[in-house]
Structure 1
């Protein structure tokens, strides 16, 4: 009898131990509210919105202990629109944001393969408006927040505050999509190779990051400034008690443009967040872009207030305006230009539904809502 009890106890302990060595976590975020925008080609609009502050998403991630500090890991994540329940991103994609499997070790770092956010999304940490729908992606028409398929990703451990990451995506991808944070289709449908690297230094007072990334077209060329181009980024965060100051500079270059469109752009921003109380914060800032070859320039001014109802739920309100020079028509949204392949110049309906203002015109808006994470 004692032997049987001992055996049962050992089996139970083994089951518990095995369970403790692996884990699966379900997580997500729900974001929705209401939005008003004027300066559209067809006037103004009021509509329910999903994901203006951040993508509504759900996902699963897990780890299995392989011994010696090494774990097998996976991550599956999909964005969706809470207003109608549809999946955002590439048609037919169940996991349009992440579908990764790999290995991690505290000494050697993390290696993963599959579909992922592109490395240019690393600007998120330096964007005062945390890549809201109107933010660092707006004046580069979504160039810095796409996803890539067929990618190989490496993240190093931190050494004295320094860490490195790299990404390479093979050219057999036909599902690259320049989606914005809310899942709206961007200007790109196919791509060649995509690659990038970033290095970051972090301390209690300052964080600095440098990023180089490139996206090639199906012919291996940099043929579109906001779709197939090189991008150089440097960003800095400074923390002074309840105040956080964030700034960045980006340079975009596409040397194989043949249709007379701009071949380079300089994009910079500056913003600050003041945490009045543990619950309430206010962020103010602005973005500016300047294009060559008569592409003009634009400036986006923005303000966001947030109020935490709990650790996982908060209310927000954002107001912004974008001012265009006479030849520019940038939108609050990460909208491709009206003459891009995404619009098809023979499709009058697509152009009429564009969220871009007329060249030289401004666009303003406000959105408010609630965000809950689980």
Structure 2
């Protein structure tokens, strides 16, 4: 009797295990992430009083780094084969600062949270995503480090986007396109708070050409802030020759509804290179220039860096840079918010370790 009960229990367990195995075969879920932390230094940081006003003095800042090389994050992603060439997918992702353990925003998933379908006609997704202008990553020789393409536009090409609908075409003869809209969801208007963009890419052997155009509207449907509510065009490309990868791009940002007399246009150019010196060591270099109209000044940013892979998942990194501001410009050497005084230069750098899982 005991033997038959044991056999029955074993049989039931076997059925449950088989069912679980079948479910796992149908759905593929992955947990992934990255933890990045190290040390950071910036010179000539403008000092502020208790009310947040600049005092006219400057000082150096030394501390830990959390997202300077790359965003620390964790996430979940999954796919399911629906048959007939159709698939379903989802992604949930949140960024955080490793030295403090705080998330990069109040949302549970502050970077991405979307679900979608993919097939022979392309893919469509709904939810929260990085805004389409983040495709500048492909044109950034630093890989969008804190010293890179975001500095001289003060983060204009780094925003996230809520209420997203995004469609990506299949790739035809090296050509691919992505269209994205982020709905403002305000009663009485389809423009207020809405953002739209398109990213076009063409690849052929070692050549990649890319064009990105996007618009971000404020709550009134206006382009009122060059760094937050504006129109942005980026064109550029990369070319890989053996161990050398070259980068060049141009960016034009405009905000025609800005306050009269304030800067409403930025012309931004950059060039750069990656060189794989050894299978483990990659050298990085970039030079960036931006000029604002209406007496907004200009800035030149230069950076050098190196990535050394200890393994497929763990690397050491070091990057240094300098920004040279002219006129009323006060661009920072890092995207940290620690700007210098207008017209002043600033030096900085960071080093650390990044582990992916």
Name the TM-score, length of structure 1 as normaliser: 0.85
Equivalent of 1:123, from 129, 136, 156? 136
Q: Is the 8 A contact 2:252 2:266 kept in 1?
A: yes
Which of 62, 74, 79 lines up with 2:90 in the alignment? 74
Match of 2:26 in 1: 21
Matches within 5 A, 1:343-358: 355-358=338-341
Q: 1:160 to 1:67 in 2, by over 3 A?
A: same
Listed one character per residue, the Cα deviations across residues 228-263 of structure 1 (whole Å, up to 9, x for unaligned) are 000001120000100000111010111111252111
Where does the alignment leave 5 or more consecutive residues of structure 1 unmatched? 174-190, 336-353
Question: Among 345, 350, 354, which residue is 1:367 paired with?
Answer: 350
CA contact (8 A) 2:295 2:327 kept: no
The separation in 1 between residues aligned to 2:13 and 2:121, in whole angstroms, is 39
Q: Distance in 1 between matches of 2:143 and 2:25?
A: 35
SS in 2 for 1:322: strand
Tell me by how many angstroms 1:172 deviates.
Answer: 2.6
- For 2:123 and 2:306, locate their aligned partners in 1 and report how far apart those are by CA, in whole Å: 36
Runs of 4+ in 1 over 3 A off after TM superposition: 4-18
Structure 2's unaligned 5+ residue stretches are: 1-7, 47-57, 187-191
CA distance in 2, matches of 1:204, 1:309: 29
Shift of 1:49: 1.0
Deviation of the 1:372 alpha carbon: 0.6
- Secondary structure at the residue paired with 1:282? strand
**Cα distance 1:11–1:47, how it changes in 2: closer, same or farther (>3 A)?**
closer
Deviations 1:143-185 (A, max 9, x none): 0010010010111111111111010011138xxxxxxxxxxxx
Q: What is the deviation of 1:9?
A: 8.8
Q: 1:100 aligns to what?
A: 114
Residues 270-316 of structure 1, C-alpha deviations (whole Å, 9 max, x = no match): 00111111001111111110110001110000000111100111101
Structure 2 vs 1, CA of residues 227 and 333 (structure 1 numbering), >3 Å: closer, same or farther?
same
Q: 1:252 to 1:301 in 2, by over 3 A?
A: same
> Shift in Å at residue 20 of structure 1?
1.1
* Superposed counterparts of 1:143-154, under 5 Å: 143-154=156-167
Give, in whole Å, the separation in 2 of the partners of 1:81 and 1:15.
Answer: 36
Query: Residues 131-142 of structure 1: matches in 2 within 5 Å?
Result: 131-142=144-155
- Within the candidate set 57, 61, 66, 1:50 is matched to 66
The reply on whether 1:164 has 2:165 as its aligned counterpart is no
Q: Is the 8 A contact 2:286 2:303 kept in 1?
A: yes
Task: Find the counterpart in structure 2 of residue 344 from structure 1.
Answer: none
Q: Distance in 2 between matches of 1:154 and 1:163?
A: 11
Aligned to 2:239: 238
1:155 and 2:160 matched? no
Structure 2 length normalisation: TM-score? 0.89
**Aligned-partner SS, 2:349:** strand
Whether contact under 8 Å (1:139, 1:334) holds in the other structure is no
Say how many residue pairs are matched.
Answer: 333
